Amino acid sequence: MISSALTNPQMRGLLAKHLRFHIVGAFVISLGVAAFYKFAVAELRKKAYADFYRNYDSRKAFEEMRRAGIFQSAK
Amino acid sequence: MFFRAAWSLVRRKTGPGMRGTHGPGSAAHREGKMPPYTNYHAQRSYPMPDEPFCTELNAEQRALKEKEKGSWTQLSHAEKVALYRLQFHETFAEMNRRSNEWKTVMGCVFFFFGFTALMIWWQRVYVFPKKPITLTDEWKAQQLQRILDMKGNPVQGLASQWDYEKKEWKK
């Protein structure tokens, strides 16, 4: 008696619709997060290490540390 | 949810006629009678309990139940609603109505946060022992100087933020 005035809600395919929405979303979000991590964290860190060690003089660093007095075996 | 169930029980016991949520024309409750206390508890996850909501029926309701055994096309709209109300306490819309319970909950949570803070403050003043020597400012400064001398984490960490020529933190 009532349903002649209103349209039915969606009766079928609810799980399929839910799965499609969430599977697509999960893919997109996880790929996005992985891409973001790769560029914002991993590549940045690799570049930082490369820049640091390009012109690194370990002898000079050792002399500075020795002069600061932190070693026990080299004063 | 149990808050609301208990609260609605309290409300129910405090007087006849306080059933404001029922629609007009529900013959089963028009007299202002209170239904007897039963095990009836409807939840969204258990929508069709075994027992009906009203088990003690007056003559009018019993007649309606007899009529229900025949063809349902003979029932009027009001009778169908009355039968529904006999079987079920609330419709899904009524059962799932939102409430203001969350405000109470959050209020109590914050209140206890504050109370805990006051307790810890009092303990700080009257209970805690003296700080060990390693937590004094002089010791901590010497510790930091030693880490910088060792150039700890020079690539991206602590020593990378220290300017060794000017002897200060990098901007």
Domains along chain B? 34-97 (1.10.442.10), 133-169 (no CATH)
**Quick check: B76 and A1 in contact, CB under 8 A?**
no
Instruction: State whether B156 and A1 contact (CB < 8 Å).
Output: no
B22 class by beta-carbon count within 10 Å (0-12 exposed, 13-18 middle, 19+ buried): middle
Min Cα–Cα distance to chain A from B30, Å: 23
Boundaries of domain holding A63: 11-68
Q: Give yes or no for A5 touching B (CB within 8 A).
A: no
A42 domain-assigned: yes
Domains held by chain A: number: 1
A52 domain-assigned: yes
Print burial letters for B33-53: b (CB count within 10 Å at least 16), e (below 16).
Answer: eebeeeebebeeeeeebeeeb
Geometric angle at alpha carbon B118, from B114 and B123, rounded to 5°: 145
**What pTM does this model have?**
0.54
- The answer, yes or no, to whether residue B36 has pLDDT greater than 60, is no
Min Cα–Cα distance to chain A from B116, Å: 38
**Confidence class for position B44, pLDDT limits 50, 70, 90:** confident
Instruction: State whether A45 and B149 contact (CB < 8 Å).
Output: no
pLDDT in tens, B60-77: 899 999 999 999 999 999
Of A1, A48, A68, the CB nearest to B155: A48
Chain B environment of A64 (Cβ under 8 Å): 151, 164
pLDDT in tens, A17-41: 999 999 999 999 999 999 999 999 9
Based on its alpha-carbon atoms, the radius of gyration of chain B, rounded to whole angstroms, reads 34
ipTM, 2 decimals? 0.71
